[in-house]
Amino acid sequence: MKRKIMAALLSACLLLLLLPAAFAAEYGEANITPQTTMGEIRSNPSIAGSGLWTYAKEQKLQGAENLLNGQTLEKYVGSWVAQDCADGLNLLIENYNAGVQITYKIYSEQEIAEDSSRNDAEIYYYPASTPNAKYALILSGNVVTRTAEVKECVSTAYQLHQMGYAAFVMRYRIYPDNDQNAPLDDIAQAVQYITDHAQQFGVQAEDYAVIGHSAGGQLTGMFGSDALGYKNYGLLKPGALILAYPIVQYAEVTPAYRLGVDGLSCGKFYYEYSVADVITEDYPPVYFWYGKNDTTLMMLCWNLQEPALAKALQANQVPHKQVVYNDAPHGIGLGRGTDAEGWLNDAVAFWEAQTT
């Protein structure tokens, strides 16, 4: 009998000794650098466990991600944001390892059951270091089926955290699930979710900023409008809209886009609007910037892009700041090494000036 008890105790002690190792194996190290490969990043247990969407269309194309796993982070996102992306991923790992929930589904189980595409809409939480902080919701750009959460959002979230803000990286629905204004529904749902859980997240519900890059800038602009924006969802007015090299309108591709997305559906949808045409006197304050060498905007009927937006904001006396850089190509995110480096600090100062 004594031998059995002793054996049981020894077994229990052995299990206790093994538990820390097994428990630790569930977590990854915050050791990502710009030279870490995407394969290594995706296999980091804490990145995988957090739920962060590290690729975009490649995650839905069989075999495509294997072609990118060997790329370094710097190669995948570009030198303009590589270090900030690495820092942002390491911060995410540290938060996850400390027990912070990173990924939040913004739709209920019932809502997802009614429309399975809603399962793709989610936010990734970067808490502020102090309670009752302001927050920013960050949107990447998109090209049909590809988005850039890591490149444009994780890097921005990290810098906002360093400034004392909470940040939420937004994953919204894209083609072919962006019909019936689904991306705007997702943005509104995210703001509503954060508002409803403001105490849990440690943020102020009001005076939030929405930061949109490229095509995400067009969505952000529409979210501020009377036509399809926050008022239609019964939400608080944003404290500021911050637009990085925003696409203002899609006139050249709208007919094909309409046919491929909403077909013969009745109504007018977000991609059929020019943000410049929906500016009103009570539109939220806007900070936007772009580069003179932005060839993407140049190809989209330049006069209907940033110049039209600036004119509309001025005509309606909306508080705004426009910054034009000589060297700031499209899709550079924080723009390290270009004339746009430091734009986020300037944008945050504008946001603060509008909300204090």
The answer to whether residue 60 scores a pLDDT higher than 50 is yes
Name the band, by pLDDT with cuts 50, 70 and 90, for residue 59: low
Mean pLDDT of the chain: 88
Cβ distance 174 to 183 under 8 Å?
yes
Which ranges in 133-181 belong to alpha helices (H)?
155-162
Report which listed range, 43-57, 138-152, 226-240, is most confident. 226-240
Cβ distance 224 to 241 under 8 Å?
yes
The answer to whether residue 154 scores a pLDDT higher than 90 is yes
Output 15 or 216, whichever has higher pLDDT. Answer: 216
Cα angle 64, 69, 72; round to 5: 130
Report which listed range, 58-72, 266-280, 313-327, is most confident. 313-327
Three-state DSSP class for residue 153: helix
Percentage of residues of the chain with pLDDT beyond 70: 84
CA distance 8 to 3: 9
| Backbone dihedral angles phi then psi of residue 232, each to the nearest 5 degrees | -70, -20
pLDDT of residue 61: 53
Report if pTM > 0.85.
yes
pLDDT of residue 9: 46
CA distance 24 to 283: 50
The answer to whether residue 132 scores a pLDDT higher than 70 is yes
The answer to whether residue 211 scores a pLDDT higher than 60 is yes
Cβ distance 259 to 272 under 8 Å?
no
Name the band, by pLDDT with cuts 50, 70 and 90, for residue 5: very low
